[in-house]
Structure 1
Amino acid sequence: MTRTVRLAGYLLLWSYAAVALAPMLVMLLNSLRPNADVLSVPLGLPSTLDFTNYETAWTEASFSTYVWNSVLVTAGAVALDVGVALPASYALGRFGFRGRAVLTAYFLAGLMLPVRLGILPTFHLLGSMNLIDSRLGLILVYAAGGIPFSVFVMTAFFRGLPADLDEAARLDGAGELRIFARIMVPLVKPAIATVVVFRFVPLWNDFFYPLVLLRSSDRYTLPVGLTQFFGEFQTNWAALFAGLVITTVPLIVLFVVATRQIVEGLTAGLGR
């Protein structure tokens, strides 16, 4: 019975994987075909590998600029997010002090309120700081919006670590900063990886904030750049598929590299 259930689970998961990956396979194959072949036979196989579509997307459609902007904004926002949330999570998870419950509730409130409802005051705030049409302004907005989630995830990990670790380190003469950097942070790497992935993906794909806060095309991120790309190359479907592949590849690489850490992060609490 157990073997049958396991086999059925494998079949279900592989079936879901096949359905989920089929559109990506079609996208990849069509990006390697001439545009005339794509228009005549949309689901065909490439007779020869045609990489000119990627050259068109990368140079003529300014995808090199869009990719750089997306990498800069997303990586900067995630790094700032984690850099702020780590010490805050450590303090909330490892120390007992007056007001801790209030601070925890304050961060949790950030998860309950949709951040896009505050787009008007955010726009005025950035305008007063001369950060409209600025990648720095976009980084700050993204980082601030992700801190509640990051604190929520990493605080739970810090609380789950044995208290003996702190005490032993203090008896050996280690200061709080050294305990945090040398002992605690390495132990919560699965939590950090989970936060990085779960923050990187929505920021990489976000269309709303770049559309509202950016004005210059040379500062556009990939989602907004894609809209211009669709307008200019709407008859060149092969180049469009190449642009979509360029947009998707970084996310696939991130998931492949961080899969082990993600699984450890999502299942770390099951054995406790």
Structure 2
Amino acid sequence: MTTAVVTTEAPTERAVAPPARPARRGRPPRAHRPVGGAGASVLLWGYAALALVPLLLMLSNSFRSNADLITDPLGLPAPPTTASYVEAWTTGNVATYFGNSLAVTVGAVAISTTVATMAAYALARGRSRIFRWLESLFLSGLMLPIHLAILPIFYLFDGLGLIDSRLGLMLMYAASGIPFSIFVLTTFFRQLPEELEEAAALDGASSWQTFWRIMVPLVRPALATVAVFRFVPIWNDFLFPLVLLRREEKYTLPVGLTNFFGENATNYSAVFAGLVITTIPLIVLFLVATKQIVAGLTAGMAK
């Protein structure tokens, strides 16, 4: 009798794959945190608030009467009055001073920016050593402040017959701003690819058309930055108008307001009104050109 031999084989173990993990959901990008964290933000906002207090106080006091200012210097205008503005604009000759400052400042900035733009483009695209030498010559004008040359400038203007001339003052400011303008604009022009000029030349554009229609619009942020940085010191300058101008009807605002303050030493509301009138163009300029200034200062920092 035969016995059946039953062989049992061990079952093969099957590799069991681990359960698939659920896909991670994309996390929303973190908001950009300010440099320095919340503490730096608090300090910056606190500094901004402290810087605005004198401006708000000046604006508030300009709408008050002189009697209210004497009795309550830190009070609010109740009711507000514009009599101090009328007095400063007409009686105090602030209108004349304002017109002189506007003409001299705008003219100087326009001349300086135009000349510097053309010179910076030539220096940025020049290949000869003479262009490097000229660039160094222009940049050497940044080494010494222009106020150190007040005596030579006075004798030069006296010989040219430009003493007591708003045109002479304008030309002096324009010349003093060219080194800084060239320094900024040359850097921007060098960042522009030369293929743009080659493409314009293939389309039949002349060198002048390429410069004004293609290259200048591309450096608009730099032009705004240069214009603002030149407008502010010219508008606030006191020394050169005091030395180079003689007649009161040609005074700019800083010099004219000095005479106005002396004549109205106790008329505080009119003094505050004159200060507000002087500050308005600067505030408007920064509000209008803020985006261009930031773009000009941060260009080339990020790729």
> What interval of TM-score do these two structures reach, taking the shorter chain for normalisation?
over 0.9
- Alpha-carbon deviation of 1:98? 2.8
Larger RCO, structures 1/2 (Cα 8 Å, 6+ apart): 1
- Aligned: 1:155 with 2:155: no
Question: Residues of 2 paired with 1:257 and 1:12: CA distance?
Answer: 26
Question: Residues of 1 paired with 2:220 and 2:76: CA distance?
Answer: 42
- Aligned: 1:67 with 2:95: no
Moved more, 63-72 or 105-114: 105-114
Q: Which residue of 157, 166, 191 corresponds with 1:135?
A: 166
1:4-23 mapped onto 2 (5 Å cutoff): 5-23=36-54
- Alpha-carbon deviation of 1:175? 1.3
1:123-149 residue CA offsets vs partner (Å, 9 max, x unmatched): 111112211000000001100000000
Runs of 4+ displaced beyond 6 Å: none
Q: Which residue of 267, 271, 274 corresponds with 1:243?
A: 274
Identity of aligned residues (%): 60
Question: Residues of 2 paired with 1:213 and 1:255: CA distance?
Answer: 29
- CA 1:164/1:3 → structure 2, altered by over 3 Å: closer, same or farther? closer
| Residue 109 of structure 1: aligned partner | 140
Q: What is the identity, as a one-letter code, of the residue corresponding to 2:113?
A: V
- CA 1:226/1:185 → structure 2, altered by over 3 Å: closer, same or farther? same
1:75-114 residue CA offsets vs partner (Å, 9 max, x unmatched): 0000000111010000011231231111111111000022
Question: Residues of 2 paired with 1:169 and 1:86: CA distance?
Answer: 19
Question: Residues of 1 paired with 2:144 and 2:38: CA distance?
Answer: 42
- Aligned: 1:42 with 2:61: no
Give unmatched runs, 5+ long, in structure 2: 1-29
Question: Residues of 1 paired with 2:46 and 2:65: CA distance?
Answer: 31
- Aligned: 1:95 with 2:129: no
Q: TM-score, normalised by structure 2?
A: 0.87
- Alpha-carbon deviation of 1:9? 3.4
Question: Residues of 2 paired with 1:23 and 1:202: CA distance?
Answer: 20
- Alpha-carbon deviation of 1:11? 2.1
Moved more, 209-218 or 165-174: 165-174
Give unmatched runs, 5+ long, in structure 1: none
Aligned residues: 272
| Residue 196 of structure 2: aligned partner | 165
**Secondary structure, aligned partner of 1:57:** helix
- Aligned: 1:185 with 2:216: yes
Q: TM-score, normalised by structure 1?
A: 0.97
| Residue 204 of structure 1: aligned partner | 235
- Aligned: 1:214 with 2:250: no
Q: What is the identity, as a one-letter code, of the residue corresponding to 1:183?
A: I
Q: What is the identity, as a one-letter code, of the residue corresponding to 1:234?
A: A
- Alpha-carbon deviation of 1:3? 4.9
| Residue 228 of structure 1: aligned partner | 259
**Secondary structure, aligned partner of 2:129:** coil
Larger Rg: 2
Q: What is the identity, as a one-letter code, of the residue corresponding to 1:129?
A: L
Structural RMSD (CA): 1.4
**Secondary structure, aligned partner of 1:269:** coil
**Secondary structure, aligned partner of 1:234:** coil
Higher helix share: 1
Q: What is the identity, as a one-letter code, of the residue corresponding to 1:209?
A: F
| Residue 122 of structure 1: aligned partner | 153
- Alpha-carbon deviation of 1:12? 2.3
